[in-house]
Structure formats: C-alpha cells, structure tokens
Structure 1
Amino acid sequence: MIPFRFLHAADLHLDSRFAGLAQLPQAVRSYLRESTFAALGRLVGVAIELEVDFVVISGDVYDVSDASLQGQLRFQEALKELAAHGIGVYLIHGNHDPLDGPRLQMELPAGVTVFSAREPGQAVACCRSDGAEVAVISGISYPTAKVTENTALRFNRMPGSPLYHIALLHGNVDGDLQHETYSPCTRKDLIGRGFDYWALGHIHKRSILHESPPIVYPGNTQGRSVKETGPKGCYIVDVNAEGHAELQFHELDTVRWQVREIPIDGLADEAEWTGAVEQAIEDIREELPFLMSVVRFRLTGRGNVHRILSEKGAAADLLSELQRREAVRAGRQAFAGLVWTEGFSVETGLPVDRERLLQEDSFLGELLRLSGRSAESADGLEELLSAALKPLLENRELRRLLAAMPEADKREWLRSAEELGITLLSGAEEEAI
C-alpha cells in the first residue's frame, strides 16, 4: 500500500447565527459571525501546509438548508484554493445542509466530489505527487433534513480492490444524547462493513469511538455555544504502507467556549468573590492569549456570599461590568485575548455544618450517608439510581438514555440532589430570613 495523508473535518456550520447572544456589541457579534469562516480558512491553511493528498468533509458544511450567499461563496473560494494546490475534496451533505435545500447552482472546482443521496457512491482518491491511486472513498448525502434510516448498512467495499477504504457518514452512532438520532447506527454496524476508516460527522464532540478500524468524530471546526466547549478543529490522518492510520488533531477555532467553576466556599464577602471572578478571567486571558474566549461561570459551593448572589443580584451587576470592560477592548479591535463573560450559573447555598448533619439521626443525615456510600463506587451509584428511578425505567427509551449517560453526569445528578436536600431540610435558608 502506498502511504498517504488526508484531512478529516465535519460540521463547519458556515455563517452560523449564534442564536441567544442578541445583546452583544456589534464588534463582538461580527467577530463571532466571522469565526466559522476563519476556521475554514485555517482548515485550508493546514491542508496546504501539511501537504495532504485530499480532504474529506462529513456533512453540515452550512448551518441551515437555505445557506447564505456569503457562506456559499466563501466555501467555493476555499475549494478553489485547495484545487489550486492539487488537493481533492470529497464531501457529503448532512441534516443542516441537505441536498433539497435551496442553494446557488455553482460549478465545482476540479477534484471536488459531492456524494449523492442514492446508494453510497464511490470515488478513487490519488496521491498529489504522482497521481497513484491510494484510497476508495464512499459516501452518502442527506436528501432531506431528517434521515432516520440506518444508512451505514448500505455501505460496501469496492469488490476486489486492495486500496484503503474510507466511508463518509453523517449520523448518530450509539445514540448520543446531545444530538438528534439521524442515520442511527452502532459501532458494531460500522465495524462489520469492512471499511478501514469511518469518517463521521454530526456529533460536535471530538471522539475516537474505535481504534481498529478508526471510527472518528472530529467534532465541529468552531464552537458556537457553551454546549460546545474546548478546542475545535480537524484530524490529519497518516496511513502507512501497512494500512495503519495515525491521527493528529489540529485546532482551527478562533473563539473558544468554556465553562469555569468558581466555588464560593471560603470567600468572605462580595469583594473576595468579585476578585475571584476577575482573577479567573485574567487566568483565561493568559492561557489563551491568541484566541477570543466566551465563558460561563458556574458559581458553586456554600458560603455567606450566597446571600449576596440571591438577594442583591450581585451576579447580574458584575456581569454587566465585565461585559462593559471587554466591549471597550473589542472596540479597539483587540479580539486576541478577549474574554467575554456569557453569564453566571448560580448553584450556591448558605453554609452548613456538614459533619454535624452526617451525624444526625434524621432524614437528612440518612440521606447524606446514603449519598456518600453510593458515590464510593460505580456499582453503588448505579444501584441507587436504579432504585430511585425504577418507575421511569419501565419506559424502554428512558432506560436506553440512562444506560448511555456518562458516569460523570450521574454523579452530578447525585451531587445536585444532595445539595437540594441540604437546602430544603437543613433550615439554613429559613435561618437567614
């Protein structure tokens, strides 16, 4: 097998509207709107710099089916630049940009293959340097916005071909809870089709579901809300003479979304709390000096600052001031290192003597002891949840969703229930009135 290199990206969502941020200053809003295009530009730059042989894009190039003229023209420009460097592009359309969406009829540059919605099409990719055939690429596009069929079962290898086989699929593997179950399938379905690499799209969280063959979600190229935190980008895949694939992630985003926790435990007053938030902002600015950051702060824990947050509306006041300061920076076009506070999630309570409560011969004491025992192991946690949710688990779909839920989320449920129990049963809130 001839070694080769390709770039795998998905979910570009060009010209995303960034819904829910209507109150942004115009300069910040414009920068956010441009970020999906900036990520596309970086993608092209990485492909050229690393001399990939071809690029695969696994759906949702555009954010909506009636893609904007600007989005279509910018993508056309990117395709032409790749073509000028001899880099082929193979792409499918997903649920956000299905084939029946109204778009301009533009002539595609040479070397660009868009797979149809019929049976998975097949194309042969070649090395840029000598034109040698290196891979068979298969893909199928969404004809409409909702595809509920398991289209993975329609993929087949090219009969008799010794080339590396890559499949492009836009779908939900193993029922990810955060996304619609379009083109649903399982890892077992994919492994059984005999392909060497599954280039997935649709799920915006980067993940490698299986090592051999690689079953890969690269995530989206630019985060668009606090539900899409962390670095966003694409994978560069090097396939050696033995057909082994080595993956390297490359960041493409210019705006980084994140959620930061600030515990109020031990903070004496409003000044200390304000200082903790301001320090967190400067920490982010120092960590990501070349990116714009959008952050939501989770205020957690128990302490006297809770009174300030719940009674005086301090969080809303501080939010306005922090946004004013960053708007001044944005007005000077200083977007690198800009830290925009999107909001505060207040999950705090008044201080309690937890050790005393644990020793109490009371309902709350027993609740805390049970919570502690259950949190000691995964089995204990599952046992508690199964008992607590037994009536709901009679529903097959709810049973499936709970089984797929990460352990970290289940532990967060337990922590939240414990905190709610303390708030309702300890009497701390009443004592503050």
Structure 2
Amino acid sequence: MASFRFIHAADLHLDSPFIGISGLDDNLRSFVQESTFRALERLVKLAIDQQVDFIVISGDVYDSSHISLRAQLRFLDFLERLGAEGIAVYVIHGNHDPLDSTKLSMKLPSHVHVFGVEPGSVTAKRRSDHQEVAVISGMSYPTSKVTDNIALRYPAPLSGLYHIGLLHANVDGDPQHETYAPCSRKDLIRSGYHYWALGHVHTRRTLQESPYIVYPGNIQGRHVRETGPKGCYVVDVDDNFNTRLSFRELDSMRWNIIEAPVDSCRDVDEWRRSLASILARTASENANQLSMVRVRITGRGPVHRQLEGGYVLDELLADLRRKEAAKGAKCGYRGCVWIESISLQSGDSFDTQRLLAEDSFVGDLLRLVRREQEHLQAPDGVIAASLEPLLEHAEIRALLEETTPDEIEDWVRRAEELTLGLLLRDRLQEEGAEP
C-alpha cells in the first residue's frame, strides 16, 4: 500500500453566535463572530500547503440545527476551493447539525462525500496517482438525539487498505459531554479499524494509539470552558500502516483562565501592576491570537477587602478593555488580551485551617459550608432550600436554571468570605490586619 496524508478535523461549529460576551464594540464583536470562519480559512490553507490527499470532518460542521445561509455558503466555498486542488472531503453530521436540520438545499461538489443515516463505506484515493489507499466508514445523525451505540453497526474492515472510521460520539462516557452515540474504547478496538476519527468532545485527546482513537477537539474555542490551542491533526500513514499525528493550530481567538493572586500585594495598585504583568505574558504567549481571558483573583490578604466592593474592579476592567480595543483596532487584535470577566475568588487575611479547627460558632459555620460545598447540587441541601423561594419568580427562575455549578460555587465562596468578614472584623482589628 502507498503512503498518504490526510487531515482529521471535527466540531467546526460554523457561525457560532458567541452569546454572553459583554463589553465588545462593533469591530471586536465582528472579529469574534468571524472567528469560526477564519479557522475554516486556515484549514483550507493548511490542507493545500501540506498537500493532503483528503480531509475527514467528524460532525458538527454547523453550530445549530437552524443552519444559517451564511454558514452554508462559506462551507460550500471551502469545499470548492479544496476541490480545485484535488482534495477530497468526507463528512458526517452530528448532534448540532443532524440531517433533518433546517437549511437551504445545495448540491455539493462531486469530490465531497456526506455519509447518510446508516453506516456506510467509501474508498479514498491518493491525489497524485489516484491509487486507492484507505476505506472510510461513517454515519451522520438523522436527528439530534442518537443515543444507541452506532459504532457496533459500522462495516467490517477490508483487508489491504487502511481503515478510518468517522464517529461523532461520547467514548467511555465522558461526564462533561452529553452521551450521544455512547460506546467504549473496547468496541472501537475490536472493530479492526486502524484510525477512529472522533468528534463531539471539544478537548483534544488521543484515547488509544493502537489503533488510533482520536478527538482533535474543535477548530475554534467558543467560551471559557474551551481553553488552549484549537485546531486539527495532520495524519501521515506510511506503506506499512505506521501512523504519525501532528497537531496544527487554527484558532485566531484563544480562551485562557489566569490567576492573579493578592497574597504578596500591599495595596490595590501593586496588585494592578502584577495583573498587568500577567496579562502581558499571556499576550506574548499568544502573539498570533486574540486572548479572551477570565481572571481569577486568588489568595488571601487585605487587598481582598479593597476589591470586594466591586467598583474598583469595574473601573479597572473598563480601563483595560478600552486600551485593548484601541490597540486591537490597529493590529487586527493579534496579541491583544480581552478580559471576558473577573472572578473574585480571593479572601481576607483569615487562617481558615485554624478556624476550621476551632470549637466555636465560626468553626461550626465554616465546617457546615465545607460540607455543603461537597454536594452543591443536592436537592435536599441548604443551598437548594435557600434558593427555593426565588423559584416562584419566573425571571429569576430562568436565570437560576442557566446557572452553572461553577457559578454556584462562586456564590458560596463569596458568601463565606462576606460572613467571615462580618463575624471576625473585631478580631482582625485586634490583630492589626485592618487597614
């Protein structure tokens, strides 16, 4: 068998709306909303530069089952440009863009194969001499809810050719993702395929190397839970079926979570300068991207009290955003840092370990809080009981239903700090911790 090269991409989520990012001016909002299309443009360039023989896309080409015409036209342009270079494309659709999605019917070019509602196989050829080099199998989601193990229905491999399976699925029950098309690594290993090109999980990971079972992640991070470089894999297969993967970045906007501790800072201005240094380092590390950053203020110290009121952080955030917006307008946002939000997770100058060991009201209260933090979502817990009266208000109920466990944990942490501050203010004054 001849050697060949292909690209494995997944979860393009074209035209993702990026809802919930606040404070953007028109130019920056346009840059953000174009980011999935820029990643697609970089994917085209990569495929041409690397002279790949074909591309496989493992589901969720589009972000929503109500597919925008803009997304369809941009994807069609992507396909046509690849076709002009003789690069074939093999596609499955996932839970975000199932085959019953609302979209305009468009005829796809002949070099594009979209797998249907039943598992099937096609043969892929090398560009240079049209020699058959691989069998590609796949299945698209007919609807957004596919909950059976479709991997068990994939065709058996054929001898003599490299076999690639395209599958949009949750392998081994990753709790961070919905369990669509659930299967196990054992199921995939037993198939006899050489490479499972997975989609659905947006975190890049290689679950297995013999055979290869690979999530490339999405090509562009869409929110703060999708941090770090995003892109695709260039895969080289030699004439002995030896496989080598090379990750390539495609994102133009990269999400980061950074910590800005208050421990060693004497005042807010010293902390502000420390934060500026951290942000400058983030910009340097992501010189080719716009960095979207969530700042977590951590540690313990008297500076926490000066930040707790909120107005200092609000004014600082507004000033930092103003400067980055002006800078970005001149440089196309490359190397800029936009603070998506600031999360106050620091605390006052309390020795919480000492307080936890105390036989006192404060010690009892702190131990109760720690127990509640272990099961924040428990329906019979203190937190659920405290929020229950608010559920009678429709608007508040809607907001609470959208609240994430991380946000609830932040609420509990802030409530703990505020309570300790009120209960221990006299003790702090006696110890000289009060400014």
TM-score range, shorter chain: 0.7 to 0.9
Calculate the TM-score normalised by the size of structure 1.
Answer: 0.84
For the residues of structure 2 that align with 1:82 and 1:299, how far apart are their CA atoms?
46
Contact 2:137 2:166 in 1 (8 A): yes
Q: Superposed, which structure 2 residues align to 1:69-80 within 5 Å?
A: 69-80=69-80
The alpha-carbon deviation at position 423 of structure 1 amounts to 7.8
1:247-283 per-residue CA deviation (whole Å, 9 max, x = no partner) reads 1100000111110011111111110111112112211
The aligned residue for residue 298 of structure 1 is 296
The alpha-carbon deviation at position 335 of structure 1 amounts to 1.1
Contact 1:368 1:418 in 2 (8 A): no
The alpha-carbon deviation at position 289 of structure 1 amounts to 1.9
Aligned residue type for 2:320: L
The aligned residue for residue 287 of structure 2 is 289
1:355-403 per-residue CA deviation (whole Å, 9 max, x = no partner) reads 865886779889999xxxxxxxxxxxxxx99xx77x97xxxxxxxxxxx
Matched, 1:2 2:2: yes
Q: Superposed, which structure 2 residues align to 1:263-412 within 5 Å?
A: 263-332=261-330, 334-353=332-351
Contact 1:156 1:194 in 2 (8 A): no
Judged with a 3 Å threshold, the aligned counterparts in structure 2 of structure 1 residues 41 and 210 are, in CA distance, closer, same or farther, namely: same
Aligned residue type for 1:70: R
For the residues of structure 2 that align with 1:23 and 1:307, how far apart are their CA atoms?
26
The aligned residue for residue 121 of structure 1 is 120
Q: Superposed, which structure 2 residues align to 1:139-178 within 5 Å?
A: 139-158=138-157, 160-178=158-176
The alpha-carbon deviation at position 311 of structure 1 amounts to 2.4
For the residues of structure 1 that align with 2:31 and 2:416, how far apart are their CA atoms?
44
The aligned residue for residue 89 of structure 1 is 89
For the residues of structure 2 that align with 1:359 and 1:63, how far apart are their CA atoms?
50
The alpha-carbon deviation at position 105 of structure 1 amounts to 1.9
The alpha-carbon deviation at position 330 of structure 1 amounts to 3.2
The alpha-carbon deviation at position 200 of structure 1 amounts to 0.4
The alpha-carbon deviation at position 418 of structure 1 amounts to 10
Q: Superposed, which structure 2 residues align to 1:43-122 within 5 Å?
A: 43-117=43-117, 119-122=118-121
Contact 1:120 1:138 in 2 (8 A): yes
For the residues of structure 2 that align with 1:428 and 1:38, how far apart are their CA atoms?
53
Aligned residue type for 1:156: P
Aligned residue type for 1:85: E
Contact 2:55 2:88 in 1 (8 A): yes
Judged with a 3 Å threshold, the aligned counterparts in structure 2 of structure 1 residues 364 and 123 are, in CA distance, closer, same or farther, namely: farther
Worse-superposed segment, 213-222 or 276-285: 276-285
Structure 2 residue aligned with 1:254, among 243, 252, 255? 252
Three-state SS of the structure 2 residue aligned to 1:349 is coil
Judged with a 3 Å threshold, the aligned counterparts in structure 2 of structure 1 residues 68 and 22 are, in CA distance, closer, same or farther, namely: farther
Worse-superposed segment, 42-51 or 329-338: 329-338
The alpha-carbon deviation at position 104 of structure 1 amounts to 2.0
Calculate the TM-score normalised by the size of structure 2.
Answer: 0.84
1:75-101 per-residue CA deviation (whole Å, 9 max, x = no partner) reads 111111111111110000111111111
Three-state SS of the structure 2 residue aligned to 1:52 is coil
Three-state SS of the structure 1 residue aligned to 2:110 is coil
Worse-superposed segment, 183-192 or 308-317: 308-317
For the residues of structure 1 that align with 2:109 and 2:357, how far apart are their CA atoms?
73
1:88-125 per-residue CA deviation (whole Å, 9 max, x = no partner) reads 100001111111112222221221100001x2110000
Aligned residue type for 1:152: A
Unaligned runs of 5+ in 1: 370-383, 393-412
Judged with a 3 Å threshold, the aligned counterparts in structure 2 of structure 1 residues 72 and 162 are, in CA distance, closer, same or farther, namely: same
For the residues of structure 2 that align with 1:230 and 1:32, how far apart are their CA atoms?
16
The aligned residue for residue 29 of structure 2 is 29
Paired residues, what number?
403
For the residues of structure 1 that align with 2:17 and 2:236, how far apart are their CA atoms?
34
Matched, 1:218 2:254: no
Please provide the CA RMSD for this pair.
3.4
Contact 1:220 1:233 in 2 (8 A): yes
For the residues of structure 1 that align with 2:233 and 2:364, how far apart are their CA atoms?
50
For the residues of structure 2 that align with 1:59 and 1:356, how far apart are their CA atoms?
52
The aligned residue for residue 195 of structure 1 is 193
Three-state SS of the structure 2 residue aligned to 1:142 is coil
Structure 1 residue aligned with 2:226, among 219, 225, 228? 228
The alpha-carbon deviation at position 205 of structure 1 amounts to 0.5
Three-state SS of the structure 2 residue aligned to 1:302 is coil
Contact 1:302 1:350 in 2 (8 A): yes
Three-state SS of the structure 1 residue aligned to 2:346 is strand
Aligned residue type for 1:75: F
The aligned residue for residue 405 of structure 2 is none
The aligned residue for residue 389 of structure 2 is none
The alpha-carbon deviation at position 59 of structure 1 amounts to 0.5
Three-state SS of the structure 2 residue aligned to 1:11 is coil
Aligned residue type for 1:140: M
Three-state SS of the structure 2 residue aligned to 1:56 is strand
For the residues of structure 1 that align with 2:313 and 2:416, how far apart are their CA atoms?
24
For the residues of structure 1 that align with 2:166 and 2:76, how far apart are their CA atoms?
21
**Taking every aligned residue pair, what percent have the same amino acid on both sides?**
52
Aligned residue type for 1:58: S
For the residues of structure 2 that align with 1:84 and 1:241, how far apart are their CA atoms?
27
For the residues of structure 1 that align with 2:91 and 2:320, how far apart are their CA atoms?
42
For the residues of structure 2 that align with 1:426 and 1:356, how far apart are their CA atoms?
15
For the residues of structure 1 that align with 2:309 and 2:415, how far apart are their CA atoms?
18
For the residues of structure 1 that align with 2:35 and 2:324, how far apart are their CA atoms?
18
Contact 2:99 2:143 in 1 (8 A): yes
Worse-superposed segment, 358-367 or 50-59: 358-367
For the residues of structure 2 that align with 1:343 and 1:416, how far apart are their CA atoms?
15
The aligned residue for residue 179 of structure 2 is 181
The alpha-carbon deviation at position 174 of structure 1 amounts to 1.6
Three-state SS of the structure 1 residue aligned to 2:307 is helix
Aligned residue type for 2:149: N
Aligned residue type for 1:101: S
For the residues of structure 2 that align with 1:288 and 1:214, how far apart are their CA atoms?
30
Worse-superposed segment, 355-364 or 224-233: 355-364
Judged with a 3 Å threshold, the aligned counterparts in structure 2 of structure 1 residues 366 and 188 are, in CA distance, closer, same or farther, namely: farther
